[in-house]
Amino acid sequence: MTKKKSLKARSRRRTGSRELQKRLQVAEDTLRAIQAGEVDALVVTKARGQHVITLAGAELPYKVMFDQMYEGAVTLTPDGIIAYCNRRFAEIVRMPLTRVVGSPLHRFVSPPDRPALEALCYEAAAHRASSELSVRAGDGASVSVSVSCAPLQLKGSADPIGVIAMVTDITERKQAAELLRQSEERFRLMVKNVRDYGIFMLDPAGHVVSWNAGAERIKGYRAAEILGQHFSRFYPPEDIERGKPKHELLVAAAEGRLEDEGWRVRKDGTRFWANVVITALRDQMGNLRGFAKVTRDITERKRAEELRARLTRQLMVAQDTERRWIARELHDETGQSLTGLLVGLRTIERSETIAEAAELAQQLREVAAQSLADVRRLARGLHPSILDDLGLSAAVARYVEEFTGRHGIVVDLRVEPESDRLPLIVQTTVYRVLQEALTNVARHASARTASVRLAREKTMVELRVQDDGTGIKRQGRVGRARSNHRRGLGLEGMRERVELLGGSIRVESELGLGTTITARIPVQSTAVPPAQRTPAQTGRDR
């Protein structure tokens, strides 16, 4: 019994599988025919009857167009199988056309994007829908595509019989967009992080809409504090009163660009000297979209320019003072002596005896000798030629020796031998300061001893003249009008000369304890020794 039953079942299974094989064969033949383009029409059996999809007749030109157009075109059955596709789609997915048709579309979509595809197809059964997806091509590459779908509705039928999809390869477009995005990002980062320039944007009304690190450094506001604020707060009150901020925007809008230099105000209220460029930003239609503002803090540069102007003025005043001094010397001393000589010579002419003439001549020789000494002193004052002959160290030693001889003040002298390798202008200035300082010691200090120290550091030369005298009395330091009868530089003249070379002078003095004058002058460490100077260099040094 059991055996009989099982035989029957086996024969039923055999018939079933034969039936299945037959149907499979029919399906495969149909598929091959569709794939080979041998089919003109498809008959789709649905619950409510049969639908015929025709490819022949009037629709044939569309088929040609379909095959040749640049976009991929796909016809999907309601369950997402590719019923038909054009060559371009096969190219996009990089598979032979025959293997694409009949496959489910989702096979060609990257797994993470498959839910999106499903949602798209679901939507497209009712109305148009589109999305961007990533296709997994046959060679494993991933291709970005834009897919737009619409229901495939036949005339006279209520339900769509599938979905049509247009597929565009947007890899290049996406790459270009990505490159643009990266380049914009880099540019944004650069602007954001630049610290030497304040770079920010204003809306057309002048409100701050962007802020970078440089703007924060220069103006002191953090981005969160300043965004949305009006840019006029960077201007000093007097400029705001004059309407300068508004005016600058008007000019920039009219002329495209405005450059200005002036005082601006930091968050903490301090001012800095700014160079500002405002550029109008317009869109393609020419509408004003705002302004770009680039601000530099050039306070240091302005200070340096002012200092230079002040030093140049000082130099001119110093030169003039010196010329006047020389003129006075020539007139008062040399002129007097020569007048005396003239008068004397005339008297000699009229003298009646040889003895009388000889006596007068003797007197006149003294006058002439004095006059010669004056002229020599004057020449030495104009340029201490001893520097050219002996160099600074020896000149200083010689001067100190003469000083002690003349005034009986013992001077402790220490000189570094390197000092001769200084530029001539520095040597002259050091020598002048020494002259003036020691002359003051003799004239004002009532000192018993003094010390002179000349030292050379790597980038500095330092002269220190110290005495153990009375110290400078108060009126000697401040508010004292320049003496008309002064010979030499005076303390002020010393300071001017030293500052002209970028150096500084310190005067320390205590009543009853003495005075110390310290002059420090910068020098380049690679100063050319005098022996190697070219005439041009010597000329520049003087």
Chain residues that interact with Mg ion, rule: CB under 5 A: 440, 490
One character per residue 401-440, x = contact with ligand ADP (rule: CB under 6 A): ---------------------------------------x
- The DSSP bridge partners found for residue 500 are none
- Closest contact distance (angstroms) between CB of 346 and Mg ion is 39
Q: Which residue is nearest to ligand ADP (CB)?
A: 476
Q: How far is the CB of 507 from ligand ADP (least distance, A)?
A: 8
Nearer to Mg ion, 344 or 490 (CB): 490
Of 248 and 467, which has the nearer Cβ to ligand ADP?
467
Give the one residue of 102, 151, 245, 469 binding ligand ADP; rule: CB under 6 A. 469
Q: Report yes or no: 452 and 465 within 8 Å, Cβ to Cβ.
A: yes
Long-range CB contacts (within 8 A, 24+) of 11-17? none
Which residue's beta carbon is nearest to the bound Mg ion? 440
Q: Give whichever of 426 and 491 is closer to ligand ADP, judged by the CB atom.
A: 491
Tokens of 319: 């030169």
* CA pair distance 476, 84, nearest whole angstrom: 110
Identify what 78 binds: Mg ion, ligand ADP, none; CB under 5 to 8 Å per kind: none
466 near ligand ADP, judged by CB under 6 A: no
Q: Hey, what are 168's tokens? A: 């565009």
Identify the three-state secondary structure at position 84.
strand
Whichever of 74 and 447 has its CB closer to ligand ADP, that residue is: 447
483 contact choice in ligand ADP, Mg ion, none (CB below 5 to 8 Å, kind-dependent): ligand ADP
Q: Which does 195 bind (CB under 5 to 8 A by kind): ligand ADP, Mg ion, none?
A: none
Among 117, 202, 409, 445, binds ligand ADP (CB under 6 A): 445
Which of 472, 501, 505, 519 lies at the binding interface for ligand ADP (CB under 6 A)?
A: 472
Q: Which residues pair with 452 in a beta bridge?
A: 413, 465
* Helix 336-350 and helix 354-382, axial crossing angle in degrees, nearest 10: 170
Q: Under a CB-based contact definition with an 8 Å cutoff, are residues 152 and 160 in contact?
A: yes
Phi and psi for 334 in degrees, rounded to 5? -60, -45
The binder of ligand ADP chosen from 113, 297, 420, 467 (CB under 6 A): 467
CB nearer to Mg ion: give 249 or 472.
472
Nearest approach in angstroms of CB 439 to ligand ADP is: 7
Q: Pick between residue 271 and residue 323 the one whose CB is nearest to ligand ADP.
A: 323
Query: Are the CB atoms for 373 and 406 separated by under 8 Å?
Result: no
What's 8-69 look like in SS3? Answer: HHHHHHHHHHHHHHHHHHHHHHHHHHHHCCCCCEEEEEECCEEEEEECCHHHHHHHHHHHHC
Which of 473, 504, 539, 540: binder of ligand ADP (CB under 6 A)? Answer: 473
How far is Cα 442 from Cα 453, in angstroms, rounded to an integer?
17
User: How do strand 129-136 and strand 288-297 relate by DSSP bridges?
Assistant: unpaired
Find the shortest distance in angstroms from Cβ 391 to ligand ADP.
Answer: 26
Look at residues 245, 227, 242, 239 and name the one whose alpha carbon lies nearest to residue 263.
Answer: 239
- Cβ 384 to ligand ADP, closest distance in Å? 18
Instruction: Looking at residues 478 to 537 of the shown chain, list those that interact with ligand ADP (rule: CB under 6 A).
Output: 483, 486, 490-492, 515
User: Which residues neighbour 405 within 8 Å (Cβ) at sequence distance 6 or greater?
Assistant: none
Q: Between residues 420 and 467, which has the closer beta carbon with respect to ligand ADP? A: 467
Q: Does 145 bind ligand ADP (CB under 6 A)?
A: no
Cα(108)–Cα(110) distance, integer angstroms = 7
Per rule CB under 6 A, is residue 441 in the interface with ligand ADP?
yes
* Residue 232, token pair as written in the block: 């006029």
β-pair partners for 54: 41
Residues that bind ligand ADP (CB under 6 A): 440-441, 443-445, 467, 469-473, 476, 483, 486, 490-492, 515
